[in-house]
Amino acid sequence: MPFEIHKSVGCRFAIILTTRCNNHCLYCHSMTNYEDFFNYDFVKQETLKNIPKDAVEIQITGGEPTIVPYFADLLKFLRQNYPRTKIKLQSNVRMLSIKTFFDKIKSCIDLIQTTFNSNKPEIFDELTRVKGSFQQVVNALKIIRETNLDIYFNILIFKQNYKHLKDTVKFLRTLFPDKHILLDYPIYLNEALKNKERIYVSLREIRPYVQESLIDDRVFVYNVTPCVFDEKFRTQVVKQGFIHDDRYVYPLPNCNSCVLKQNCNGYYRQNLLIFKNYSDFKVIK
Ligand code: SF4
């Protein structure tokens, strides 16, 4: 894959640093492969060429960016060249369980986004397909919580974890009492599509379990439309604002007349094509 820097509205950028990853998640929707890392000088040049000095946010993502040999140097480079920009790391955080590594990079990051799909080690490791990944991530989270770094979590919803979402939220609350948690419905592309028989669970099935997991006002639902839920839970459905793109469609012909449309991003076009789950949505008058 060519080197990519994505721009979204609000002068936010994402650097896709690699397509390689140290996990092999059953649900990965990215194009992962094992091509060589990009040349570091080239990455720096492209960054300066494509990202203006007044960027609001630069997200470093992948694949798994922390496995790139010059990852720590790149973070330092970004801090020096973009001192007023928020630096966000999207990572599975396994590498951050190495304290010396984390100490090297922590002052160059403002926000971490990570995925934590289950409080049950065997389910967590089944989904990542890396034995021991649960323990590594928990170790990393314990190190991260000793700092002032901001962090938020996505819990992706599958057949394996949907019945214990609430326990997973509570587990995260024991470590991070006030950080945002997004209950996130996956898009079925690439590896996720290949493994759909093993991991797919419908919106109808997850509904009660998602609702019972909204235990405080910092737990949200992501990538599911508000009409799927009872009225009192709809305020906790996140409208993604800046990332609305052509991956989303309004599923019903009469969505235009729905009173919730202002707060609805639509639903993944890709999922509708595969599962044809139109009956999960209901126009609210
Ligand atoms: S009926 Fe359509 S517009 Fe209304 S919330 Fe559902 S998907 Fe969104």
Q: Is 229 in the pocket of ligand 1 (CB under 6 A)?
A: no
Q: Check whether 37 has a pLDDT greater than 90.
A: yes
Distance of CA 23 from the midpoint of ligand 1 (Å):
35
Q: Is 223 in the pocket of ligand 1 (CB under 6 A)?
A: no
Q: Express each pLDDT in 91-107 by its tens digit.
A: 999 999 999 999 999 99
Tracing tokens 């950080």 back to the chain, one arrives at 179
Query: Which whole number is the average pLDDT over 121-148?
Result: 97
Q: Tell me the pLDDT band of 7, cut-offs 50, 70 and 90.
A: confident
pLDDT at 242: 44
Domains of the chain by start residue, with CATH: 4-222 (3.20.20.70)
Q: Is 261 in the pocket of ligand 1 (CB under 6 A)?
A: yes
pLDDT at 177: 97
Distance of CA 252 from the midpoint of ligand 1 (Å):
7
* Candidate from 235, 238, 255 with most ligand 1 atoms within 8 A of CB, to mutate: 255
Q: Is 96 in the pocket of ligand 1 (CB under 6 A)?
A: no
Query: Which whole number is the average pLDDT over 184-202?
Result: 97
DSSP states of 152-215: EEEEE--TTTGGGHHHHHHHHHHH-TTS-EEEEPPP--HHHHHTHHHH---HHHHHHHHHHH--
Q: Tell me the pLDDT band of 115, cut-offs 50, 70 and 90.
A: very high
Query: Which whole number is the average pLDDT over 63-88?
Result: 97
Query: Which whole number is the average pLDDT over 6-16?
Result: 89
pLDDT at 240: 66
Tracing tokens 């609210």 back to the chain, one arrives at 284
pLDDT at 10: 81
pLDDT at 244: 52
pLDDT at 165: 98
Distance of CA 226 from the midpoint of ligand 1 (Å):
7
Q: Tell me the pLDDT band of 206, cut-offs 50, 70 and 90.
A: very high
Distance of CA 8 from the midpoint of ligand 1 (Å):
24
Query: Which whole number is the average pLDDT over 59-79?
Result: 97
Peptide bond into 63 cis (omega under 30): yes
Q: Is 68 in the pocket of ligand 1 (CB under 6 A)?
A: no
If 0-12 CB within 10 Å is exposed, 13-18 middle and 19+ buried, where does residue 228 land?
Answer: buried
Distance of CA 267 from the midpoint of ligand 1 (Å):
9
Which residues, including other chains, have CB under 8 Å from residue 248's CB and lie 6 or more apart? 265, 266, 267, 268, 269
Q: Considering the chain, what is the average pLDDT of its residues? A: 95
Nearest protein Cα to ligand 1, atom 6 = 227
Q: Is 237 in the pocket of ligand 1 (CB under 6 A)?
A: no
